Amino acid sequence: MINALNKVDWDKSELLPVIVQEVETNEILMMAYMNKEALELSLTTKIAHYFSRSKQRIWKKGESSGHTQAIKEFLLDCDNDTLIIKVIQEGVACHTGRKSCFFTNIETGEVVSEVEVEMASTYGVIDELYHTLLERKNADPETSWTAKLFAKGENTILKKIVEEAGEFCFAVKDDDHEEMVYEAADMVYHTMVALALKNISPDRVKQELARRFNMSGIAEKKSRTDK
C-alpha cells in the first residue's frame, strides 16, 4: 500500500487528477481529484473516494446517491502525476443523472446525452440548487436571471443579498409569516449564488454547522477571535 502511494509524485501537487473510465467500454465517465488519503481509501476498499475542492473534504462516490464506483484497475501515467481508474459504475456517474459528465458540445452547445436518472430528490434541494447555479454560469444572460447575476458580477450579487436580508427583517417586524418564508427563500437563493460564484459548496456550510454542535456560541466566537 505504502509503495503504491509513493509512486505518485506528490511534490508536484497535493491533488492527483483522476480520469474515470468504464471498465468494459473505456468510456470516460468523469474527472476528479484524489489527495493521498483519498487514494489510500480507494486502494484499500476498491471503491472510489475523491477529494472535493468545493466541499474541502474526502467524499465517497455515491455517498448520497448510491451510485458508487467499484475500481478494477489503477493506471498511473508516465509522469506519475495523473491517474486513470477503470470502474464498474453503479447507476450513473454525473450528478445531472447522465451516464457521463461529458455531455455538452463546446462548439455548438448541443447536449449529446439524455438524463437517465432523476437526481433532485437524491441530493436535496440545496445541493440541487447549487449544481444548477454552477450550470447557469455559462448560460445566456438574456434567458437566465441567474446567468445575468453572474454576468453583472460580485457587487451586484452582494447588493442583492443585502436587499433580501433587509426585506426579510421587515417581514419579521411585520410578523408576516408568508412574507418571511418568501424573503428567506430569496435570501438563501442569493447567498447560494455568491457561494457558487466562489465555487464553495453548501456542504462546507453544513460541515461548519455540524462543527458547532455541542459548542456554546460564546466558545465558538472565541475560537474565531483567538486565531
Q: What does the pLDDT profile of the chain (227 residues) look like in tens digits?
A: 668 999 999 999 999 999 999 999 999 999 999 999 999 999 999 999 999 999 999 999 999 889 999 999 999 999 999 999 999 999 999 988 999 999 999 888 889 999 998 877 777 889 889 989 998 998 899 999 999 999 999 999 999 999 999 999 999 999 999 999 999 999 999 999 999 999 999 999 999 999 888 776 556 566 655 65
Q: 21 forms bridges with which residues in the sheet?
A: 28, 86
Domains of the chain, earliest start first: 2-120 (3.10.20.810), 124-225 (1.10.287.1080)
H, E, C per residue of the chain? CHHHHHCCCCCCCCCEEEEEEECCCCCEEEEEEECHHHHHHHHHHCECEEEECCCCEEEECCCCCCCCEEEEEEEECCCCCCEEEEEEECCCCCCCCCCCCCCECCCCCCECCCCCCCCHHHHCHHHHHHHHHHHHCCCCCCCCHHHHHHHHCHHHHHHHHHHHHHHHHHHHHCCCHHHHHHHHHHHHHHHHHHHHHCCCCHHHHHHHHHHHCCCCHHHHHHHHHCC
What is the model's pLDDT at position 109? 83
